[in-house]
């Protein structure tokens, strides 16, 4: 009885300042990321990591950044964007060109973070240029325009000289390490999760849930749509720069429509608006095709089948119930009630 | 003191004259009813008052300020809040967060504070929690504060919408069929709540309602719309006994 009335209180035990700032979402997402990093670090330090394993760390991390930033637009704001690879590519080219042309000016330790910033800002600028006319319109124009943007930017890059044209941009210093990717993931998580848990984030989710009601409360729809869209483009741009400094070269073909869809699949698979889910699914989508390499020509077939099964599982109410059951909080309370039953017997 | 005054307000949708020559005047603290048959143009009046539609004719004055043609956001800031005929809650957000959105322009901090959680963040959030919980208590919803809004039963959702609108601290509160879908017990309770809100917050309320017992029970004045025009307006008891009003309703 006492426990019940306690549970019914608005904030059991009051809400502390720390918990107000850092909710479960925040702490669990950071927990997951730090655990993954420690695991990778130990694997490498103990000499258990194969070359193949090591080669997947950076791509997986880049996918995590892409997935959580796209989730801000698709899951939190509720607008469909099909051009995330486009923002990644403008960021990649801007940041990598910057790093090539300033080779004599700064040492790599300064040049690398600067080029990340340049890539992010240029991508954000493109987000602004596309967002301002499109996000003011009511309706699903964003999907069409971002799709067109991704394709247009690709052919523009191919036809320019300073981007290296179709042959691509070469001689980019390979400076991306899994540690630097990890740091950027933490920054991305910090910014996006903090944003979600604030008056700005609430406004963004309110627009998703009911635009008309949000507007009637004085929420500036255009501002918050633009804010999410530009922020997502910014992180996609940074991911692009990390990508360029990992491979050492860039070609426009890597940033095609399929790449955008792949990022979108990560978001949908991890759950709309679910940042933890995006982390997990970005990792899965990076490693599954690699694990299937042995299957050779059936690889893409298996890959598609696995994707479909995962999507179906995610949509199934039984699986949702199962996930609910295995949540730590619920496990703990189930254990408690069991032990109480025993006492009573 | 006049809070709301409309003069010859009108709007056309293509050939349809949805509202025409609509003039009313509402005093501070009044409970004013807007009634009429289905499709009479009542919700359209609310949409005109809140800037969802721009009037093709006439003017709207709120507490001495001309708000004709202003945007929904400006009108919200000027002091009109509303509920919707078909409930419009933020379904995936908690009950508490729904009310906190009503505080969006009242308790503010900037984007950097949101992202870095420094400065006034904790203080402002605590302030919001306090105001929002007090409002939820008025509507008996404080125990549901942490639940998603969509999990509430229908009657509670209607109340939450009123709480959220009140959180904007409006000069005028518009309620679009607050008792729709409620049983007689819930309706009776809602009547008490609306009266309580008027007295406690010194609020001016304009409400649309089909339930005549509610209208007769709490509205001091009413206005009857029929085919977009004012059929009658004035003291509730007088208007409800007006033969023209009776035929408009029975003639349906
Ligand atoms: N955006 C619009 N475009 C065209 N016609 C509209 C629009 N909004 C409302 N109308 C028309 O205006 C008329 C009045 O509609 P309104 O919703 O205001 O009626 P109401 O009095 O609220 O009715 P109810 O009691 O059924 O809610 C209707 O004929 C409706 O079809
Ligand atoms: Mg209506």
Q: What mean pLDDT comes out for the span B197-225?
A: 94
Mutate to test the pocket of ligand 1, among B37, B43, B84 (most ligand atoms within 8 A of CB): B43
Q: What mean pLDDT comes out for the span B100-108?
A: 97
A211: phi then psi, degrees, rounded to nearest 5: -60, -40
For tokens 């078909």, what's the residue? Answer: B86
B116 interaction partners in chain A (CB closer than 8 Å)? 194
What pLDDT does residue A23 have?
87
Question: Which among B248, B228, B242, B170 has a CA at the least distance from the CA of B10?
Answer: B228
What pLDDT does residue A7 have?
43
Among B111, B129, B164, the residue with its CB nearest the CB of A200 is B111
Kindly state whether residue A247 falls inside one of the protein's structural domains: yes
- In chain B the first and final C-alpha atoms are separated, in Å, by 37
Is the distance from the beta carbon of residue B39 to the nearest atom of ligand 1 less than 6 Å?
yes
Kindly state whether residue A276 falls inside one of the protein's structural domains: yes
Mutate to test the pocket of ligand 1, among B10, B16, B20, B56 (most ligand atoms within 8 A of CB): B16
Q: What mean pLDDT comes out for the span A136-147?
A: 84
Kindly state whether residue A49 falls inside one of the protein's structural domains: no
What pLDDT does residue A6 have?
43
Kindly state whether residue A327 falls inside one of the protein's structural domains: no
What pLDDT does residue B32 have?
97
> Under a CB-based contact definition with an 8 Å cutoff, are residues B235 and B219 in contact?
no
What pLDDT does residue A336 have?
63
Q: What percent of chain A has pLDDT over 70?
A: 88
Q: In what order do the strands lie in the sheet with B16-27?
A: B16-27, B2-13, B57-62, B65-66
Among A10, A202, A218, the residue with its CB nearest the CB of B73 is A218
> Under a CB-based contact definition with an 8 Å cutoff, are residues B68 and B55 in contact?
yes
A216 interaction partners in chain B (CB closer than 8 Å)? 50, 52, 72, 76, 81-82, 84, 165
In angstroms, the CA A205 to CA A196 distance is: 8
Confidence of residue A138 (pLDDT cuts 50, 70, 90): confident
Q: What mean pLDDT comes out for the span A187-204?
A: 97
Q: Which of B117, B135, B161, B168 to mutate to test the interface with A (most CBs of A within 10 A)?
A: B117
Assigned token pair, A119: 């890539």
Among B76, B121, B122, the residue with its CB nearest the CB of A217 is B76
Kindly state whether residue A45 falls inside one of the protein's structural domains: no
**Ligand 1 mean position to B55 CA, how many Å?**
14
Q: What mean pLDDT comes out for the span A115-125?
A: 98
> Under a CB-based contact definition with an 8 Å cutoff, are residues A221 and B116 in contact?
no
3-class secondary structure for chain A?
CHHHHHHHCCCCCCCCHHHHHCCHHHHHHHHHHHHHHHHHHHHHHCCCCCHHHHHHHHHHHHHHHHHHHHHHHHHHHCCCCCCHHHHHHHHHHHHHHHHHHCCCCCCHHHHHHHHHHHHHHHHHHHHHHHHHHHHCCCCCHHHHHHHHHHHHHHHHHHHCCCCCHHHCECCCCCCCCHHHHHHHHHHHHHHHHHHHCCHHHHHHHHHHHCHHHHHHCCCCHHHHHHHHHHHHHHHHHHHHHHHHHHHCCECHHHHCHHHHHHHHHHHHHHCCCCHHHHHHHHHHHHHHHHHHHHHHHHHHHHHHHHHHHHHHHHHCHHHHHHHHHCCHHHHHHHHHHHHHHHHHC
Our count of domains for chain A comes to: 1
> Under a CB-based contact definition with an 8 Å cutoff, are residues A160 and A221 in contact?
no
Please report the atom of ligand 1 found closest to the CA of residue B228: 14
B92 interaction partners in chain A (CB closer than 8 Å)? 205, 208-209, 273
The nearest CA of chain B is from the CA of A223 a distance in Å of 12
For tokens 């360029």, what's the residue? Answer: A244
The nearest CA of chain A is from the CA of B27 a distance in Å of 23
> Under a CB-based contact definition with an 8 Å cutoff, are residues B75 and B171 in contact?
no
In angstroms, the CA A30 to CA A191 distance is: 12
Q: What percent of chain A has pLDDT over 90?
A: 63
Contact partners, residue A70, CB within 8 Å, separation at least 6: A81, A84, A232, A236, A263, A264, A266, A267
| A250, HSE (Cβ side, Cα atoms, 13 Å) | 32
Kindly state whether residue A177 falls inside one of the protein's structural domains: yes
Where b means 16+ CB within 10 Å and e means fewer, B186-214 reads bbebbbebbeebbeebebbbbbbbebeeb
H helix or E strand, kind and range, residue B2: strand B2-13
> Under a CB-based contact definition with an 8 Å cutoff, are residues A259 and A239 in contact?
no
Judge whether B105 is closer than 8 Å to chain A, CB to CB.
Answer: yes
| pTM confidence score | 0.90
**Ligand 1 mean position to A13 CA, how many Å?**
48
Judge whether B185 is closer than 8 Å to chain A, CB to CB.
Answer: no
Lowest mean pLDDT among A183-197, A259-273, B20-34: A259-273
Contact partners, residue B84, CB within 8 Å, separation at least 6: A212, A213, A216, B161, B176
What pLDDT does residue A217 have?
98
Please report the atom of ligand 1 found closest to the CA of residue B45: 18
Is the distance from the beta carbon of residue B49 to the nearest atom of ligand 1 less than 6 Å?
no
Kindly state whether residue A314 falls inside one of the protein's structural domains: no
> Under a CB-based contact definition with an 8 Å cutoff, are residues A75 and A195 in contact?
no
Domain that holds residue A103: 58-291
The nearest CA of chain A is from the CA of B104 a distance in Å of 7
Please report the atom of ligand 1 found closest to the CA of residue B13: 4
Position A3 pLDDT exceeds 50: no
Q: What is the length of chain A?
A: 345
What ipTM, to 2 d.p.? 0.94
B125 interaction partners in chain A (CB closer than 8 Å)? 20
Q: What mean pLDDT comes out for the span A199-216?
A: 97
Q: In order of start, what are the domains of chain B with their CATH numbers? A: 1-79+170-252 (3.40.50.300), 95-168 (no CATH)
Average confidence score pLDDT of chain B: 94
Is the distance from the beta carbon of residue B54 to the nearest atom of ligand 1 less than 6 Å?
no
Distances (CA, A) of B223 to B228, B236, B245: 12, 8, 10
Q: What mean pLDDT comes out for the span A65-81?
A: 96
> Higher-confidence residue: B165 or A163?
B165
Assigned token pair, B7: 């003069």
In angstroms, the CA A182 to CA A179 distance is: 5
Q: B204-208 and B172-176 as β-strands: parallel, antiparallel, unpaired?
A: parallel
B109 interaction partners in chain A (CB closer than 8 Å)? 198-199
Strand partners, B232: B224
Kindly state whether residue A226 falls inside one of the protein's structural domains: yes
Q: What mean pLDDT comes out for the span A264-269?
A: 92
């Amino acid at each position: 009885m006492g426990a019940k009335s306690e549970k019914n209180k608005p904030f059991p035990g009051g809400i502390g300042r720390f918990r107000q700032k850092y909710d479960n979402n925040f702490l669990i997402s950071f927990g997951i990321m730090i655990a993954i990093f420690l695991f990778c670090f130990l694997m490498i330090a103990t000499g258990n990591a194969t070359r193949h394993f090591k080669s997947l760390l950076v791509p997986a991390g880049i996918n995590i950044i892409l997935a959580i930033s796209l989730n801000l637009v698709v899951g939190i704001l509720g607008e469909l964007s099909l051009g995330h690879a486009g923002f990644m590519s403008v960021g990649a080219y801007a940041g990598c060109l910057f790093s090539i042309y300033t080779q004599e000016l700064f040492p790599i330790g300064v040049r690398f973070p600067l080029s990340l910033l340049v890539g992010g800002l240029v991508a954000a600028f493109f987000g602004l240029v596309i967002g301002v006319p499109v996000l003011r319109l009511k309706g699903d124009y964003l999907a069409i325009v971002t799709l067109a943007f991704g394709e247009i930017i690709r052919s523009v890059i191919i036809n320019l000289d300073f981007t290296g044209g179709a042959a691509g941009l070469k001689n980019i210093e390979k400076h991306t390490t899994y540690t630097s990717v990890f740091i950027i993931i933490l920054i991305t998580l910090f910014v996006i999760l903090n944003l979600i848990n604030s008056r700005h984030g609430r406004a963004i989710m309110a627009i998703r849930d009911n635009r008309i009601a949000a507007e009637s409360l004085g929420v500036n729809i255009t501002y918050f749509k633009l804010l999410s869209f530009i922020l997502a483009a910014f992180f996609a741009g940074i991911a692009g720069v990390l990508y360029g400094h990992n491979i050492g070269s860039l070609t426009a073909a890597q940033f095609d429509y399929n790449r955008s869809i792949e990022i979108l699949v990560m978001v949908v698979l991890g759950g709309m608006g679910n940042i933890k889910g995006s982390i997990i699914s970005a990792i899965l989508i990076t490693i599954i095709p690699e694990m299937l390499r042995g299957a050779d020509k059936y690889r893409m077939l298996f890959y598609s089948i696995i994707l479909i099964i995962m999507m179906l599982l995610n949509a199934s109410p039984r699986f949702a119930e199962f996930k609910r059951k295995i949540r730590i909080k619920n496990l703990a309370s189930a254990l408690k009630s069991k032990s109480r039953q025993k006492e009573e017997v | 003191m006049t809070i709301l005054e409309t003069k010859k307000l009108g709007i056309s949708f293509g050939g349809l004259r949805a509202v025409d020559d609509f003039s009313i005047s509402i005093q501070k603290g009044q409970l004013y009813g807007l009634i009429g048959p289905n499709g009479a143009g009542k919700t359209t009046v609310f949409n005109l008052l809140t800037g969802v539609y721009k009037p093709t004719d006439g003017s709207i004055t709120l507490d001495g300020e001309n708000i004709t043609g202003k945007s929904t956001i400006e009108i919200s800031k000027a002091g009109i809040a509303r509920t919707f005929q078909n409930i419009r809650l933020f379904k995936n957000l908690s009950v508490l967060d729904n009310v906190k959105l009503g505080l969006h322009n009242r308790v503010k901090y900037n984007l950097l504070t949101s992202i870095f959680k420094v400065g006034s963040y904790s203080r402002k959030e605590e302030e919001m929690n306090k105001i929002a919980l007090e409002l939820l208590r008025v509507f008996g919803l404080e125990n549901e504060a942490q639940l998603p809004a969509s999990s509430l039963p229908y009657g509670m959702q209607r109340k939450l919408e009123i709480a959220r609108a009140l959180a904007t601290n409006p000069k005028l509160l518009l309620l679009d069929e607050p008792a729709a879908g409620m049983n007689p017990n819930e309706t009776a309770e809602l009547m008490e709540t609306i009266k309580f809100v008027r007295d406690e917050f010194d609020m001016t309320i304009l409400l649309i309602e089909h339930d005549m017992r509610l209208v007769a029970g709490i509205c001091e004045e009413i206005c009857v719309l029929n085919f977009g025009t004012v059929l009658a307006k004035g003291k509730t008891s007088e208007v409800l006994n007006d033969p023209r009003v009776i035929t408009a309703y029975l003639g349906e």
